[in-house]
């Protein structure tokens, strides 16, 4: 279930110990180099921080991005069955040996993490150069990345810090990103693999091409709940809050319709009829 057990301490900071930790992190953030977020970056930060993009715990590192672009999924080992738990958080390490022969045929291999795993370019393959990688994949077809400029790259690298502060356009620090990994922004590859076409008239494709030439990956820690102060914040529940509400209501079925626009007549019809059909089935 999306976000189960994946919620920042800052989202539920009523207790004194948690508030103390939060204050300490805010003090730390004040000493770190800052990375400015666009409105879209802030949306993605909320998506990650509230658990909607699980198993991601931060903006994609290069290994996770390549998997997303070429497999539409991510290798995971949440219970450490194969000893590779947390590999999505490990720094990507490429060594150039990304081709080899398997069963007489050429197979592309994707170097993945600092432990030098080589995942075969086959969805059912599990054997790697160092033994066995994870057995499970989870769906992940959309790149969740953080573009940065040459100047921001320079500032982060020059600082020598192992963390950076993420700031809104209004100067509010909303999160800390740990163990930053900076790599080239594969704009054309991201566009073509995600959308299947290069169309500068498409608003999100235009957004990708207008971004910085570098991407910043790393795990994030929210310093507070993401709010937009538009009168709707009270209705923006986290994944865990929604699950808690389903339990409170004793729901045995849940239907929903997600849209980035205000609900139109067609949307309202879909939700209304879905409810009616579920009730008629006795669900």
Inform me whether the pLDDT recorded for 8 exceeds 70. Answer: no
Inform me whether the pLDDT recorded for 220 exceeds 90. Answer: yes
**Cα–Cα distance measured from residue 106 to residue 122, given in angstroms and rounded to the nearest whole number:** 12
Instruction: Provide the whole-model pTM.
Output: 0.79
CA torsion sign for 134, 138, 143, 145 is negative
Q: What is the 3-state secondary structure (H, E, C) of 46-70?
A: HHHHCCCCCCCCEECCHHHHHHHHH
For residues 107-119, give the mean pLDDT.
Answer: 40
Of 92-101, 144-153, 193-202, 252-261, the poorest mean pLDDT is in 92-101
The larger pLDDT score, comparing residue 277 to residue 123, is at 277
For residues 218-231, give the mean pLDDT.
Answer: 94
Instruction: List all residues 6 or more positions away from 115 whose beta carbon is below 8 Å from its beta carbon.
Output: 84, 87, 90, 130
Place 102 in a pLDDT band, splitting at 50, 70 and 90.
very low
For residues 73-97, give the mean pLDDT.
Answer: 81
Q: Let me know: does 165 contact 173? Beta carbons within 8 Å.
A: yes
The larger pLDDT score, comparing residue 92 to residue 132, is at 92
Of 57-66, 113-122, 230-239, the poorest mean pLDDT is in 113-122
Place 104 in a pLDDT band, splitting at 50, 70 and 90.
very low
**Cα–Cα distance measured from residue 64 to residue 58, given in angstroms and rounded to the nearest whole number:** 11
Number of alpha carbons in the 13 Å side-chain half-sphere of residue 172: 13
Neighbouring CB atoms inside 10 A of 119's CB total 24
φ and ψ at residue 73, rounded to 5 degrees:
-165, 170
Inform me whether the pLDDT recorded for 45 exceeds 60. Answer: yes
SS3 105: strand
What pLDDT score was predicted for residue 259?
Answer: 67
Inform me whether the pLDDT recorded for 195 exceeds 60. Answer: yes
Mean pLDDT score across all residues of the chain? 82
Place 134 in a pLDDT band, splitting at 50, 70 and 90.
low
Spell out the alpha helix ranges (H) of the chain. Answer: 16-29, 39-49, 62-71, 150-159, 187-195, 203-210, 239-249, 265-280
Place 283 in a pLDDT band, splitting at 50, 70 and 90.
low
Neighbouring CB atoms inside 10 A of 214's CB total 18
What pLDDT score was predicted for residue 167?
Answer: 98
């Amino acid at each position: 279930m999306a976000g189960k057990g994946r919620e920042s301490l800052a989202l539920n900071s009523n207790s004194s110990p948690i508030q103390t930790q939060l204050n300490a992190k805010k003090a730390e953030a004040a000493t770190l180099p800052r990375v400015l977020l666009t409105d879209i970056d802030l949306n993605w930060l909320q998506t990650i921080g509230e658990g909607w993009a699980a198993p991601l715990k931060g903006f994609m590192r290069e290994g996770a991005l390549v998997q997303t672009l070429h497999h539409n999924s991510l290798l995971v080992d949440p219970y450490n069955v194969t000893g590779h738990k947390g590999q999505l958080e490990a720094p990507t390490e490429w060594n150039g040996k990304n081709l080899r022969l398997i069963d007489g045929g050429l197979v592309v291999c994707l170097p993945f993490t600092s432990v030098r795993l080589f995942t075969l370019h086959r969805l059912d393959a599990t054997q790697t150069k160092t033994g066995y990688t994870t057995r499970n994949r989870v769906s992940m077809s959309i790149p969740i990345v953080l573009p940065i400029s040459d100047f921001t790259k320079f500032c982060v690298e020059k600082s020598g810090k192992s963390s950076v502060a993420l700031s809104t356009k209004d100067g509010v620090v909303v999160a800390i990103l740990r163990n930053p990994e900076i790599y080239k922004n594969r704009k054309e590859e991201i566009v073509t693999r995600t959308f299947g076409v290069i169309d500068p008239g498409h608003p999100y494709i235009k957004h990708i091409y207008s971004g910085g030439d570098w991407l910043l990956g790393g795990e994030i820690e929210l310093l507070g709940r993401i709010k937009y102060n538009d009168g709707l914040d009270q209705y923006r529940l986290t994944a865990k809050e929604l699950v808690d509400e389903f339990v409170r209501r004793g729901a045995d079925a849940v239907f929903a319709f997600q849209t980035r626009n205000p609900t139109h007549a067609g949307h309202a019809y879909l939700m209304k009829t879905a409810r009616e059909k579920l009730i008629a089935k006795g669900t």
